[in-house]
């Protein structure tokens, strides 16, 4: 889906409160399998997933004992009436194991919105928040997690990474990307959902699936990927790496082409964040008008063209670039 169409649809989802995009179990299994050591003796809260539809809840209730969970909670959202939560804590049916058959349904006094006081109290109780939050409320959702100093693993659109508040957290190494990022991920949507004609969609076994573009996992749980350095093999040359007209930095079109011997600031694609090792590189900022940090302001050559980088000899702006420096040089 083109970016302008994606943004148009996400705005529509925001105004219509129609963010019911259900993550597939195969995508959840692929990512969560990397974090088993983080889950032992922990309370897991899925606060933006219809628990009777959510594959996040299904994954954890099926693997409750294997992961050594202490407690599993998931809340259901209702627009205009009190809702409920599902919990798994112990072997309720006395069959010798703890799984989905031990789920307890508890009524809520409020509607299950992740911003409601009732759900915030559950956030405070939980150790790790794992969910597919509404993309239209992504910034607000992340802000809540940081406010209550919570560990989390959530899924979102790649474009959200350039948001001022989210990017600042990445820059400060407070949050980072997960393992299975990029490419198309298909989300199941309710049968009544009207998928825009310009969107990527498919129907399998009578179920509707919808693509929301490039999807990433965002977390503050440590993982092996963020400790792996990018293998650099190219040497810098002014011909291959031109300067920007409006930033004191060179342009690099592919992460694999980052020069191994350049000491200055480089503008690299957004996909760099998927391979970012904070021990190898320093993130300075981004080529974005909203980045008003002193580090980026000092790199601006043209105060009028404050948005994306324009390569010398060209007139077209490059898509947003992450400004980085090699810490090893």
Predicted pLDDT of residue 134? 87
Predicted pLDDT of residue 302? 84
Mean pLDDT calculated for residue range 181-190? 66
Distances (CA, A) of 293 to 248, 283, 296: 15, 12, 5
Largest CA distance in the chain: 73
Residue ranges, CATH 3.40.50, the chain:
3-224
Query: CA 272 from chain center: how many Å?
Result: 14
Predicted pLDDT of residue 49? 79
Per-residue pLDDT tens digits for 201-227: 667 676 766 666 788 999 999 999 999
Predicted pLDDT of residue 204? 67
In the chain, what percentage of residues exceed pLDDT 70? Answer: 84
Angle at 249 between CA 244 and CA 253, to 5 degrees: 70
Whether the predicted pLDDT of 189 surpasses 70: no
Which of the pair, 117 or 181, is modelled with greater confidence? 117
Predicted pLDDT of residue 19? 52
Main-chain phi, psi angles of 195, to 5 degrees: -75, 130
- Collect all residues with Cβ–Cβ distance below 8 Å to 319 and sequence separation of at least 6: 269, 270, 308
Core vs surface per residue 132-156: b (16+ CB within 10 A) or e: bbbbbbbeebbebbeeeebbbbbbb
Predicted pLDDT of residue 313? 83
In the chain, what percentage of residues exceed pLDDT 90? Answer: 70
Proportion of the chain in helix, strand, coil states, percent, rounded to 5:
30, 25, 45
3-state secondary structure of 317: strand
Q: Which of 29-33, 43-47, 311-315, 324-328 has the lowest mean pLDDT?
A: 311-315
Whether the predicted pLDDT of 11 surpasses 60: no
Predicted pLDDT of residue 7? 42
Please state whether beta strands 128-131 and 43-46 pair in parallel, antiparallel, or not at all (unpaired): parallel
**CATH number of the domain located at residue range(s) 3-224 in this protein:** 3.40.50
3-state secondary structure of 160: helix
Task: Look up the pTM and report it.
Answer: 0.86
Average pLDDT over all residues of the chain: 88
Cα gap 318→71, rounded to integer Å:
47
3-state secondary structure of 259: strand
Predicted pLDDT of residue 176? 97
Predicted pLDDT of residue 12? 40
CA atoms within 13 A on the CB side of 184: 10
3-state secondary structure of 16: helix
Whether the predicted pLDDT of 256 surpasses 80: yes
Backbone CA torsion sign across 148, 149, 152, 155: positive
E strands along the chain, which residues?
22-23, 43-46, 71-75, 84-88, 104-107, 128-131, 151-157, 176-177, 184-189, 201-204, 207-219, 250-251, 266-268, 281-286, 322-326
Residue positions counted in the chain: 329
Predicted pLDDT of residue 9? 41
Whether the predicted pLDDT of 14 surpasses 50: no
Per-residue pLDDT tens digits for 93-141: 999 999 999 999 999 999 999 999 999 999 999 999 999 898 889 999 9
Which of the pair, 225 or 13, is modelled with greater confidence? 225
Predicted pLDDT of residue 198? 54
Predicted pLDDT of residue 24? 82
């Amino acid at each position: 889906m083109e970016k302008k169409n994606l943004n148009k649809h996400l705005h529509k989802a925001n105004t219509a409160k129609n963010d019911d995009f259900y993550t597939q179990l195969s995508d959840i299994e692929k990512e969560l399998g990397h974090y088993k050591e983080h889950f032992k003796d922990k309370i897991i809260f899925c606060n933006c997933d219809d628990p009777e539809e959510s594959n996040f809840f299904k994954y954890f209730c099926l693997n409750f004992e294997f992961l050594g969970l202490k407690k599993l909670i998931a809340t259901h959202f209702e627009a205009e009436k009190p809702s409920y939560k599902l919990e798994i804590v112990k072997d309720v049916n006395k069959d010798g194991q703890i799984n989905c058959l031990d789920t307890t349904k508890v009524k809520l006094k409020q509607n299950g919105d992740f911003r409601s006081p009732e759900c915030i109290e559950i956030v405070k109780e939980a150790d790790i928040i794992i969910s597919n939050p509404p993309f239209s409320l992504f910034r607000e959702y992340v802000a809540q997690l940081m406010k209550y100093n919570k560990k989390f693993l959530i899924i979102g659109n790649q474009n959200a990474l350039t948001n001022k508040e989210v990017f600042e957290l990445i820059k400060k190494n407070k949050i980072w990307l997960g393992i299975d990022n990029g490419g198309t991920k298909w989300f199941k949507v309710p049968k009544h959902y009207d998928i825009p004609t310009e969107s990527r969609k498919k129907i399998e076994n009578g179920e509707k699936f919808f693509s929301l573009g490039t999807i990433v996992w965002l977390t503050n749980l440590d993982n092996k990927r963020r400790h792996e350095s990018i293998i650099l093999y190219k040497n810098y040359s002014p011909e291959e790496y031109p300067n920007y007209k409006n930033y004191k930095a060179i342009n690099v079109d592919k992460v694999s082409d980052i020069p191994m011997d350049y000491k200055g600031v480089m503008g690299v694609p957004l996909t760099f964040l998927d391979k970012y090792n904070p021990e190898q590189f320093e993130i300075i900022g981004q080529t974005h008008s909203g980045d008003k940090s002193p580090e980026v302001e000092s790199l601006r050559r043209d105060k009028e063209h404050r948005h994306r980088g324009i390569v010398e000899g060209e007139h077209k702006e490059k898509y947003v670039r992450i400004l980085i420096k090699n810490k090893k040089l």
